Structure 1
Amino acid sequence: MLALPLILIAYLAGSLSAGVIVARVLGLGDPRQDGSGNPGATNLLRLGGRRAAAVTLLADAIKGVIPVVLAHGLGVDGAALAAVGLAAFMGHLYPVFFGFQGGKGIATGLGVMLAWAWPVGLMALGCWVLMAAVFRLSSLAALTSFALAPLALLATGYPALAAGGAIMALVTGWRHRGNIQRIAKGTEPRIGKRQT
């Protein structure tokens, strides 16, 4: 029974869309309507620069970490812990406070992975950084790191969390379907390129 309120708390925490809040504070408009239309750190980088992106990235990651750490501290594990992490992730994608129009969940998902199993979270983060540095495509970096994370969770003895990671990977692929098409066409915007 303890897991149910924690899942709700995680969803509500995930629903706090940092990108929208940061953009409003800095007078950048609504990132869901400008640039790529995604209220994540990559679009905030394009619209408002490094400061806006850094704050958004950190806040989105933290809201993935805190609910999972709280649940773990209260003795929740296994499938219930996976559900708490997924709730935070889905809250970011479909935030109740912002008309269910959220981002793609990469920073929040990485935060969840770090809290689930920090070595796997660091592996996923390292994979993202490497892919982003080489290809300058945030979407490709996200797709690669999220695809590898469930395998790493399974290999390190976390089958329930691996199932949760697999769901996140599938949802990430779905949310990035437009990006995948643009990657194939060679029209996907590079990291740091401002939208005009």
Structure 2
Amino acid sequence: MGGFVQNIGLIFAAYVLGSLPFGLWVAKLWANINIREYGSGNIGVSNVLRTIGPVPAIIVLVLDAGKGLIPVLLAKQMLSNETMWFIVGIAAIIGHSLSLFANFKGGRGVATAGGVLLGLSWKIVLTLLIVWLVTLWISRFISLSSILAAVSLPISLVVFGFPPSYWVLGAGLALFVIWRHRPNIERLLAGTEYRIGEKAQKH
């Protein structure tokens, strides 16, 4: 019973930590704007980059990634079940995307997922980062880079010999990230998606 309560407690704590809308707060403090009124309306790193600039975007990137990394590191210290480490991390990603403090709206979950995966395996992060960077270099679409990196996640987990539970969780996480990119996919198909370097406009 104690182990179950501890698991639930960590999952809930990860969700709450993941819910902290750093993109929203940094945009307000840095530029006194509501980031949800600009560009894609997203509170994540890419919209902060397009709307305000690289320095606040880097700040948001570090903070959002930390929301994923910290719960996983805590779970690794407190729990012996490796599958639970990943589940705790996914709770943080869900918190970021469906924030308790932003009317259950949030970012796409990419930076926070990066933090989670960094806590689990640097090899996976390096592999996905290469996919992300190569796609960005070719296409200049941050969203497409993130989608293809998400697709690469379950494949990488299989290739690097992680247990089947990780394959399932990785596939689920990839589908969640792709689902969160629905508006981006629509803009990609319509030819109206933002490319890196383009300035976001207010709605």
Alignment partner of 1:33 out of 37, 41, 45: 37
Following the alignment from structure 2 to structure 1, what is the Cα–Cα distance between the partners of residues 31 and 56?
Answer: 11
Single out whichever of 179-188 and 132-141 deviates more from structure 2.
Answer: 179-188
1:42 correspondence with 2:46:
yes
- Alpha-carbon RMSD: 1.3
Q: Tell me the residue number matched to 1:9.
A: 13
Following the alignment from structure 2 to structure 1, what is the Cα–Cα distance between the partners of residues 16 and 32?
Answer: 24
Following the alignment from structure 1 to structure 2, what is the Cα–Cα distance between the partners of residues 94 and 76?
Answer: 28
| 1:38-187 correspondence runs (5 A) | 38-158=42-162, 159-187=164-192
- Tell me: CA distance 1:142–1:186, structure 2 relative to 1, closer, same or farther (3 Å): same
Contact 1:22/1:52 (<8 A) preserved: yes
Following the alignment from structure 1 to structure 2, what is the Cα–Cα distance between the partners of residues 103 and 54?
Answer: 15
Q: Compute the TM-score of the two structures, normalised by the length of structure 1.
A: 0.94
Bigger radius of gyration among the two: 2
Following the alignment from structure 2 to structure 1, what is the Cα–Cα distance between the partners of residues 80 and 46?
Answer: 33
Following the alignment from structure 2 to structure 1, what is the Cα–Cα distance between the partners of residues 81 and 147?
Answer: 26
Contact 2:86/2:116 (<8 A) preserved: no
Contact 1:28/1:48 (<8 A) preserved: no
Q: Tell me the residue number matched to 1:195.
A: 200
Following the alignment from structure 2 to structure 1, what is the Cα–Cα distance between the partners of residues 57 and 49?
Answer: 5
Number of residues paired by the alignment?
Answer: 196
Following the alignment from structure 1 to structure 2, what is the Cα–Cα distance between the partners of residues 84 and 91?
Answer: 11
Q: Tell me the residue number matched to 1:22.
A: 26
Unaligned runs of 5+ in 2: none
String of CA shifts for 1:8-54, please: whole Å, max 9, x gaps: 11101100111001011113411122221000111111111111111
Percent identical residues: 38
Q: CA deviation at 1:119?
A: 0.5
Contact 2:18/2:93 (<8 A) preserved: yes
Contact 2:76/2:82 (<8 A) preserved: no
Following the alignment from structure 2 to structure 1, what is the Cα–Cα distance between the partners of residues 137 and 62?
Answer: 19
Q: CA deviation at 1:192?
A: 2.1
Contact 1:78/1:161 (<8 A) preserved: no
Q: Compute the TM-score of the two structures, normalised by the length of structure 2.
A: 0.91
